Structure 1
Amino acid sequence: MLIAQITDTHLGFDPDNPAEFNRKRLDKVLHQLSELDRKPDMLLVTGDLVDRGDEDSYRRLRSALAACTFPVWLCVGNHDVRSNLTAVFPKIPIDGGFVQYVVDTAPLRFIILDTLEEGRHGGAFCERRAAWLADRVAEAPDRPTVIVLHHPPIETGIEWMTTGLDEPWVDRLDQALAGHRNIVGLMCGHIHRAIATGWRGRPLTVCPSTAPQVALTLAPMDPVNPDGRPMIVADPPAFALHYWNGEGLVTHFDNADEHVALARFDTSMQPLVACLADERPLPSMVSSRSRVRLVAQ
């Protein structure tokens, strides 16, 4: 199974501009996903769908996503407004007023979480949401399960974007998942950078954004003394591809910039590919006998 993920699209950052910068960046990523040599089985859009929570920006998002030929599932972030989102996307599942639901596919089960507290930049996860999550995980203890949320519950090292490890919502999330060995990964957004780590014994990845990226700055930051460091950079719009190989998730990060090919699978590269395939036969490759015949030719 191949799961595409985009995050932090932030449509509407340029109000009333139908040709806005963030929409162009989003369209580039969606076009690249549609042109992949293997199409994704689904697309997760993990929050900060729009920048100001307005209905018009959600309508622009709906228009952009209409080009997708694979199922799309939405998650809310701190820039989102639930009432306006559901007005434009009325079929999005809601539970107890929260945008939280389960997507059950053949190989994997996805639990989409709502970590939004309107008016707060960081994450939130109340007792009610934690109880809902605990129930959802417990009802299918043998199914490989992915947790999808906007806010990563980790200390990232980027001080102005990070989460404190002692924030109450982080422990609530951890306790809701405690004791369950079927969690194969957590997929997050929010940081506008590609990150791969572990969180309390569970694999966790953060998808880079389609909107401009956050600068990689790991030095301590004094909130009251601006030092002129870069905070947002115009790196290319990016995405993640999560490949489920039957045992675990393998995550690849890429961007929608031009990729200049320095080598292609042509007759000059074919002997190397055949040699590598013989070292580790793969079901998807042609048979060994066919490879020998190709090399001989």
Structure 2
Amino acid sequence: MPKVNRRDFMRLMGLGTIGGAVFMSSGASAMPGKKETGDFYFLQLTDTHWGFSDPKVNPDFKGTLLKAVRQVNALKLQPDFIMFTGDLTHTTEDAAERKRRLLEFREVIKHLKVKRLMFIPGEHDASLDNGAVFKEVFGPTHYSFEHRGVHFLALDNVSDPSGSLGEAQLNWLGGELKKLDADARIVVFTHRPLFDLYPQWEWATPDGAKALELLAPFNNVTVFYGHIHQINAHVTGRIQHFSSKGLMYPLPAPGSQPKRAPVPWNPAIPYRGMGFRQVQTDLKDGEYVITETPLHRG
């Protein structure tokens, strides 16, 4: 029987404006005295931008997040947990308003049936105060946890206004990885991409290469991020990177226009760019190949 690796167990499927649903198998069912393992799935939601208000970009700016909550609650099989990968709120220089938006966002998502919710900030939430208000409302901006045999790492590459992880966090990451063997199943969450997707639009992490160097020795690493409001699949060495569509508005393809700006709302195709996403594994010529198909629906 072939050795199980990331390609064997991963399937992602985006639902409506939700972003990505990640299906995983971490091995056999739990045995007495051992950590719980087995199949599960989680949802990634990203870039909700609560507080955004431009009807030319999204006339339903007050309702999109509520629709996502209803869609998640309508799932017959509820996910084990939901990870929000940043830009929960839209930027404001007013610290009191920033806190108000974060608290309002928290109230909206309390209606989710899934009660295990986790968060990392985006630059809209945290770059103007080094994450101070975000930490007050949601807690640490980087952390790790285990779930059914998979090691999850949540990183903060936004609280530093430069978008860097910083030496302290890189040292923490190195310490976390020292606890794991080379075949450990590792999932990393970030807001910005760890690789240089398009630095001209700040679609990069200045010291992301150092994090990838720490992750490079491991055989089963997948990174999920937000920030770019669109689907992108990328590989660095053995590490696969997947972005998810945002909940408030799409952004143009990297470098496709002079300036980064939200794609205007098209009433003929409402919610385009916030539609469905499916990535699944297929066995071809003895290898599992991940394919991705975006589907746009109103």
TM-score class, shorter-chain normalisation, is 0.5 to 0.7
Q: CA deviation at 1:57?
A: 0.4
Match for residue 62 of structure 1 among 106, 124, 128 = 106
1:146-191 Cα offsets, whole Å, 9 max, x none, are: 000001123446953533xxx64122212221322242x1000000
Report the CA distance between 1:143 and its aligned residue.
3.1
Match of 2:85 in 1: 46
Q: String of CA shifts for 1:40-81, please: whole Å, max 9, x gaps.
A: 221110011111261110111111110112211101111113
The aligned residue for residue 47 of structure 2 is 8
Letter in 1 for 2:167: E
CA RMSD of superposed structures (Å): 3.3
Q: 1:110 to 1:172 in 2, by over 3 A?
A: same
Question: In structure 2, the residue corresponding to 1:171 is in which secondary structure?
Answer: helix
Q: What is the TM-score when the length of structure 1 is the normalising length?
A: 0.67
Give, in whole Å, the separation in 1 of the partners of 2:198 and 2:224.
Answer: 18
Q: What SS is found at the alignment partner of 1:130? A: helix
For residue 6 of structure 2, what is the aligned residue in structure 1? none
CA distance in 1, matches of 2:264, 2:207: 30
Are the counterparts in 2 of residues 198 and 204 from structure 1 also a CA contact under 8 Å? yes
* Contact 2:219–2:238 under 8 Å retained in 1: no
How many residues were matched structurally?
A: 234
**1:7–1:209 Cα contact (<8 Å) kept:** yes
In the TM superposition, what are the counterparts of 1:1-297 in structure 2 within 5 Å?
A: 1-14=40-53, 21-52=60-91, 54-70=98-114, 71-81=116-126, 82-89=131-138, 92=139, 94=140, 99-120=141-162, 123-141=163-181, 142-156=183-197, 160=201, 162-163=203-204, 168-183=206-221, 185-216=222-253, 218-219=255-256, 221=258, 231-234=262-265, 235-236=271-272, 237-238=274-275, 258=298
Which structure dedicates a bigger proportion of its chain to helix?
Answer: 1
* Letter of the 1:174 counterpart: L
Identity %: 21
Structure number with the bigger relative contact order (C-alpha 8 A, sep ≥ 6) is 2
1:233 partner SS: coil
- Match for 1:48: what amino acid? D
Shift of 1:26: 1.1
Equivalent-residue separation in structure 2 for 1:203 and 1:46 (angstroms): 17
Distance in 2 (CA, whole Å) between partners of 1:49 and 1:11 is 6
Question: TM-score under structure 2 normalisation?
Answer: 0.67
Is the radius of gyration larger for structure 1 or structure 2?
1
What is the rounded CA distance, in whole Å, between the counterparts of 2:212 and 2:120 in structure 1? Answer: 19
Structure 1 unpaired stretches of 5+: 224-228, 259-297
Contact 2:121-2:156 within 8 A present in 1 as well: yes
- Amino acid paired to 2:47: D
Contact 1:191 1:214 in 2 (8 A): yes
Q: Which AA in structure 2 matches 1:206? A: S
Tell me the CA shift for residue 87 of structure 1: 2.3
Distance 1:251 1:47 in 2: 25
Show structure 2 runs of 5+ residues with no match: 1-39, 93-97, 266-270
2:237 corresponds to which letter in structure 1?
Answer: R
With 47-56 and 235-244 compared, the bigger mean Cα shift is at 235-244
Q: Which amino acid aligns with 1:115?
A: N
Q: Which deviations, in whole Å up to 9, do the C-alpha atoms of 1:20-48 show, x marking residues without a partner?
A: 94341111112112212322221110011
Q: Using the alignment, how far apart are the partners of 1:205 and 1:254 within structure 2?
A: 13
Give the Å deviation of 1:200.
Answer: 3.0
Could you tell me which residue of structure 1 aligns to residue 11 of structure 2?
A: none
- Cα 1:240/1:136, change in 2 over 3 Å: farther
Distance 1:231 1:52, change over 3 A: closer
Once residues 242 and 3 of structure 1 are traced to their aligned partners in structure 2, the CA distance between those partners, rounded to angstroms, is: 14
In the TM superposition, residue 257 of structure 1 has moved relative to its aligned partner by 5.1
